[in-house]
Structure formats: C-alpha cells, structure tokens
Amino acid sequence: MNISDAAKVWLITGASSGFGRILAELALARGDAVVAGVRNPAALADLGERYPETLLPITLDVTDADGPRAAVATTEARFGRLDVLVNNAGFGLIGAVEELAPQEYRPMFETNLFGLIEMTRAALPLMRRTSGGRIVNLSSVGGFTGRQGFGLYNASKFAVEGLSEALAEEVAPFGIKVIIVEPGAFRTAFLGRSITAGATRLAAYEQTSGATRDFSDANNGAQPGDPARGMALLMQAILAEAPPLRLPLGRDALARIDRKLAMVAADIAPWRSRSEDTGFDGPSA
C-alpha cells in the first residue's frame, strides 16, 4: 500500500494497551500508518475497524529470534518504508537483588533489553534509506535512577539508556534521532499486568524492597501521570525537528532525576582533585 509522503510509517511494539496503544491511536488519527506488534492481534480489533487501511496488527514476540526481522519485512512489504520505531514492549519485576532468581529476571532482560536491541538492528537497514527517522526507546525514570526493590528492573533500563546514547551518535549521520522516554508513575495497567513480584520474600529486606512491594500494591490505580497527556507530549517530541535525547514524563520523574543529578555532583565534588591527580606526571599527561 502506498501512503503519502507527508504521512509517517510507524512500527510499535507492545501496542495492545497502555502507552503503545495510545501512541498508535494518535499516529493513526493524524493519518499515519501503524504496524502494531502485539501478542494477540484480536486486542486491536476495534482499532482495525476504524483504520482498516492504515493499521496493520501483527503477532510479534520481540524475544523470538525471527520476530523482529519478520516484523520489519512485513512493514516494508505493506508500506514501503519505516519512519518511526517505538520499542515499547517490556515488563517489570520487584524484589531485592538477592531475592530474585534467574528464571524470574532473565526473561525480563530478554524483553526489555535484548528484544529492543534486535528490533533496532532489524529496523536500521530500512530506516537508513529515509532521512529523518526516529527510534523511540521506552525506558523509565528507573533507567536513570535506581530504587530499592527494583534493582534488576533498573539494570535492564539503565542498559537501554547506555545503548541509546551510543546509538544516537551512530545514527546521527543518517538523520535518525533517538529519544529515550523516562516516564514516572502513570495510571496504566503496568503495575497490575506488566509488573510482578519475585516469589521469594526475605525478612532481611522487609524495610527496603519489602516496603517497595507494599507501596506499589497500595498505590496501583492512584498514579499521578495521565497516559493520554504523556503520549501527547511524546508525539510532539517525535515530530519535532530537534527532539530531545531524553524525555522525562511527569513531575515525579523530574523530581527523581533532579535529586540524582544533585547527588552525583555532591558525590564527585570532594574527590574531584584526587581523581584528577591519578594521571601520569609529565608534559604529556
């Protein structure tokens, strides 16, 4: 199918609900084409009835070895190009580092990090053909600052941020921009459906990760962030000529990032001169 040059072609992973679904609706409403990667395409049946020509739901598991390549091939076959890749698929895990077992945290890394890497690698050859593309990686405020009980989730998102920073430099010559999205607490189904707690709960961590578990359970449904407003801002950033590398979403995210920046500066300051003195002496130092 041919679409106008003014329209954009999107590939969104994890598009059945939450941020992914909202972003797909916004793109379709402005006349763009969307390839929506979901576990069950029936979840988008209502949206397909409204946009039968420009929405293409596909079954996609980003952890499947062939899934990312097949999704990009399908996008090219249907729409001829890819302008915006949104790596949204992911889930969370609560528990102290000592509490969580490999069978609990490794699948999270497969989706949050390795699935994102493979989607990006698969998409880049097609995206490099058209200048002005966008790669949007859904991180979290937890990808910038750690929190007790979320250590391994933090690790998966910190990795996404480091990869994204390097990727932004690598793809800049092709006119492709990378956006790292760092939401705070938004009122989506994430806490209810996309985040789980580890099976082991040790008494030794009741005051730290245990408190985080209890807080998350008690506050599900009372998150301050409005998903529709958050995705409207993200859409503005994606369409901007000069989008930010990092886009925090929500006052809570901004507050945590500000605290982290201040803590890092305070941590470095008393050791700065000694750190500078660790180099070799002499004129070439």
Q: How far is residue 35's CA from residue 26's CA, in Å, rounded to a whole number?
A: 13
18-29 and 227-239 helices cross at what angle (nearest 10)? 50
Sequence-ordered list of residues with C-beta below 8 angstroms from that of 188, at least 6 positions apart, any chain: 17, 18, 19, 223, 227
Q: Enumerate the active-site residues.
A: 139, 153, 157
- H or E element in which residue 38 lies: strand 33-38
What DSSP character marks residue 65? T
Q: Residue 57: beta bridge partners? A: 36
Token pair in block for residue 114: 């390795």
Q: How far is residue 219's CA from residue 234's CA, in Å, rounded to a whole number?
A: 25
